[in-house]
């Protein structure tokens, strides 16, 4: 069969049900094979949309997403989703077309050095040099994307090679001698960690996206409940621990709660699970959790002691390590009373410093209120994607995620334009769920063309735009740190998002009144198909509380 038909066989063997992409000269053979392969293809309007859609699909379902692009500009448009997937450890296989082998290196039409350009931002990449390599390369790509620390894998296929006939045999084994992720975790270290937890008087569990990736939410809950440990999650980890729980501290970090950040500041032991001490968490590194010892559980050995030296390092899969840790901890029969004082102190912080905003006057919609209204309108039972900016932080703060894989956003790279396509992917992966993309007027315009994809494919994404007429987060920083010199952040509430939605064949509605907000949102969400809600919100509202960049947790403002 043709090599491209073998590509389809590989995708089917990997259980791929949908691919997101855009055809071009160099990948016409792939699209020819797709024509009757029986795999759903979603035709996006920009390759970046396809890449982010594959990410959204992967994050919502836990399966590997697939994104296709042609050579040159098709492939360069994929670089943002590739790096985004790398930063957030999302399993996606990117298949790019490449110019004919005889043109390689000649600056041929639509040629770009995809391998060279993507190398620093991939988990792995494979350039096909002979058509018979294709089946093995693809299976390796899927295996690498989903195992160990998940991530993006690029397979670049020169167009001439993709048309050659090759003998196809299913690949059942993957031989990668240089790749042996350690999943089990060292028993001695796990025992040591259990002992440290049993001895700690002011412990905090700090969980991240690794818990979601490892489907280890149950095990995390079990650990927290093993002894009423306080638990906080990173932006990526939200939902891994249920927000409406007495042991929940809220998110930590730059826009985390005071309770979470103060607890980290005063902790004597921090058990970090599947998180990586990002600068948005630690603030000033030298003043981060100055009294604490650290247990660090991560599947990626390179994360251990990268930013913070770990006293007890455990390399392994969060799910199996946590399960063993809970078992070891229970066997110790620790004195639970030792945590009373600590939990009491945390409770005091929670009561004294709740998340708050002033909503007392007028009918104008406060952006925080908008998020709470989305929660109420969906009953909390939705998949929420977001773009990047103030609305993202407000969503993280005010939407109480009850479960993992309900919160999909671009955490590491902070990619504006992520939210809408990610919502498309999530909606296709989870058709029985309401999928809401919470965006900003700045972010949505970075991939608004995907509304056309939603309309054509009948993807019932509900987009809620928190429209303040600004690039809000930059405006906030300019206000706080740049003497209110609002340089180039005024978007003037353009375009008319209702008309834009209608132009793309979607339903559009504008909301301006807080008193009817929940009902209006319910009504909008009840409209079948893709809907855009243009919610006009208070223009100069800030995200608080906040740790200024490079400051210490105890110096939170707001």
Partner 1 sequence: MTGRKHVLSILVENKPGVLTRIAGLFARRGFNIDTLTVGPTDDDQISRVTLTVDGALHPIDQVTKQLHKLINVLKIRDLEPADTVARELALFKVAADGTARAEVLQICEIFRGKVVDVGKRSIIIEITGTTDKVAAFERMVRPFGLIEMMRTGEIAIARGRQET
**What residues line the site for partner 1 (CB under 8 A)?**
115-116, 119-120, 123-125, 127, 129, 144, 176-179, 300-302, 305-306
Nearest distance from C-beta of residue 300 to partner 1, angstroms: 7
* Spatial separation of the C-alpha atoms in residues 436 and 143, rounded to whole Å: 31
Strand boundaries in 257-306, DSSP class E: 269-273, 293-298
Q: Which long-range contacts (CB under 8 A, 24 or more apart) does 34-38 make?
A: 34/8, 37/5, 37/8, 37/11, 37/12, 38/12
Closer Cβ to partner 1, 116 or 549, answer by number: 116
Closer residue to partner 1 in complex, CB, 178/337: 178
Of the pair 141, 323, the CB lying nearest partner 1 is at: 141
Q: Which is nearer to partner 1, 124 or 293 (CB)?
A: 124
Minimum CB separation from partner 1 for residue 91, in Å?
Answer: 15
**Burial of residue 448, with CB atoms counted within 10 A of its CB: 0-12 exposed, 13-18 middle, 19 or more buried:** buried
Phi and psi at 40, nearest 5°, equal -65, 135
**Distance between CA atoms of residues 281 and 430, nearest Å:** 31
Rounded CA-CA distance 235/255 in Å is 9
The side-by-side arrangement of strands in the sheet containing 152-158 is 40-43, 18-21, 65-69, 92-98, 152-158, 124-127
Residue 115 or 539 with smaller CB distance to partner 1: 115
Cα–Cα distance measured from residue 210 to residue 184, given in angstroms and rounded to the nearest whole number: 15
Question: Is-cis flag, bond preceding 392, omega within 30?
Answer: no
Please identify, using beta-carbon distances, which residue of 114 and 521 lies nearer to partner 1: 114
Element (DSSP H or E) covering residue 142:
helix 134-146
The angle formed by the CA atoms of residues 509, 419 and 469, to the nearest 5 degrees, is 55
What are the residues whose beta carbons fall under 8 Å from the beta carbon of 360, sequence distance 6 or more?
none
β-pairing verdict for 462-467 and 152-158: unpaired
Q: Report CA dihedral (260, 266, 267, 272) to the nearest 10 degrees.
A: 50
Which sign, positive or negative, has the C-alpha torsion 111, 115, 120, 125?
positive
Beta strand spans in 288-357 (E): 293-298, 312-315
Closest CA to 472 of 391, 526, 556, 357: 391
CB of 151 to partner 1, least distance (A): 10
Cβ closest to partner 1, residue 141 vs residue 224? 141
Q: Choose between 125 and 466: whose C-beta lies nearer to partner 1.
A: 125
At closest approach, how far in Å is the CB of 308 from partner 1?
13
Q: Please state, in angstroms and rounded to a whole number, the distance separating the CA atoms of residues 55 and 63.
A: 10
Q: State which residue, 304 or 473, has the beta carbon closest to partner 1.
A: 304
Least Å from the CB of residue 59 to partner 1: 22
User: Which residue's CB is nearer to partner 1, number 127 or number 238?
Assistant: 127
- Min dist CB 303 to partner 1, Å, is 9
CA-wise closest residue to 558 among 256, 312, 325: 256
Q: Report how far residue 261's alpha carbon sits from residue 284's, in angstroms, rounded to the nearest whole number.
A: 13
CB of 130 to partner 1, least distance (A): 12
CB of 118 or CB of 217, closer to partner 1:
118
Instruction: For residue 57, give both structure tokens.
Output: 């699909």
Nearest distance, CB of residue 115 and partner 1, angstroms: 6
| Identity of the residue, 127 or 226, whose beta carbon is nearer to partner 1 in the bound complex | 127
CB of 498 to partner 1, least distance (A): 45
CB of residue 127 to partner 1, shortest distance in Å: 6
Work out how close the CB of 144 gets to partner 1 at its nearest, in angstroms, rounded to a whole number: 7
Q: Are 168 and 5 in contact (CB under 8 A)?
A: yes
The Cα 61–Cα 425 span in angstroms is 9
Taking the complex as a whole, the smallest distance from the CB of residue 554 to partner 1 amounts, in Å, to 28
């Amino acid at each position: 069969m043709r090599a491209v038909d073998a590509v389809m066989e590989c995708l089917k063997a990997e259980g791929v049900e949908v691919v997101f992409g855009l055809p071009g000269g160099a990948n016409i053979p792939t699209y020819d094979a797709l024509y009757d392969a029986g795999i759903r293809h979603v035709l996006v309007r920009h390759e970046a949309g396809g890449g982010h859609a594959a990410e959204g699909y992967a994050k919502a379902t836990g399966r590997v997403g697939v994104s296709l692009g042609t050579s040159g500009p098709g492939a360069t448009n994929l670089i943002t989703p590739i790096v985004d997937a790398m930063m957030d450890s999302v399993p996606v296989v990117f298949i790019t077309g490449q110019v004919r082998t005889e043109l390689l290196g000649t600056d041929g039409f639509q040629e770009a050095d995809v391998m060279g350009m993507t190398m620093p931002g991939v988990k792995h990449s494979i350039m096909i040099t002979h058509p018979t390599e294709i089946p093995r390369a693809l299976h390796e790509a899927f295996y690498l994307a989903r195992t160990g620390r998940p991530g993006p894998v690029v397979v670049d296929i020169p167009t001439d090679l993709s048309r050659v006939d090759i003998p196809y045999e299913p690949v059942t084994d993957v031989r990668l001698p240089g790749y042996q992720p350690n999943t089990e975790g060292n028993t001695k270290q796990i025992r040591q960690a259990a002992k440290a937890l049993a001895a700690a008087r002011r412990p905090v569990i700090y969980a991240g996206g690794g818990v979601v990736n490892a489907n280890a939410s149950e095990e995390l809950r079990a650990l927290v409940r093993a002894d009423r440990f306080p638990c906080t999650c990173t932006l990526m980890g939200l939902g891994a621990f249920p927000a409406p729980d007495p042991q929940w501290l809220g998110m930590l970090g730059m826009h985390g709660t005071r309770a979470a950040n103060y607890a980290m500041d005063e902790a004597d032991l921090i058990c970090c699970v599947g998180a990586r001490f990002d600068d948005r968490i630690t603030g000033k590194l030298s003043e981060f959790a100055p009294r604490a010892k650290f247990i660090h559980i991560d599947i990626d050995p390179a994360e251990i002691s990268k930013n913070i030296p770990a006293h007890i390092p455990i390399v392994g899969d969060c799910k199996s390590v946590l399960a063993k840790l809970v078992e070891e901890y229970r066997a110790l029969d620790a004195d639970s009373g030792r945590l009373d004082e600590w939990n009491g102190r945390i409770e005091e912080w929670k009561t004294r410093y709740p998340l708050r905003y002033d909503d007392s006057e007028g009918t104008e919609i406060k952006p925080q209120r908008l998020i709470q209204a989305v929660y109420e309108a969906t009953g909390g039972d939705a998949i929420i994607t977001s773009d990047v900016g103030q609305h993202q932080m407000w969503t993280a703060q005010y939407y109480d995620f009850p479960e993992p894989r309900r919160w999909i956003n671009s955490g590491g790279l902070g990619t504006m334009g992520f939210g809408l396509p990610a919502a498309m992917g999530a909606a296709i992966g989870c058709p029985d769920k309401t999928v809401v993309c919470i965006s900003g007027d700045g972010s949505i315009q970075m991939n608004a063309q995907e509304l056309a994809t939603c309309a054509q494919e009948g993807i019932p994404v509900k987009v809620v735009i928190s429209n303040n007429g600004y690039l809000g987060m930059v405006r906030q920083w300019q206000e706080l740190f740049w003497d209110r010199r609002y340089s180039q952040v005024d978007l003037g509430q353009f375009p008319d998002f209702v008309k834009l939605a209608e132009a793309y064949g979607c339903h559009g509605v504008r909301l301006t009144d807080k008193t009817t907000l929940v009902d209006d949102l319910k009504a909008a969400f009840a409209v079948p198909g893709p809907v855009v809600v243009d919610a006009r919100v208070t223009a100069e509202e800030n995200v608080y509380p906040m740790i200024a960049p490079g400051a210490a947790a105890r110096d939170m403002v707001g």
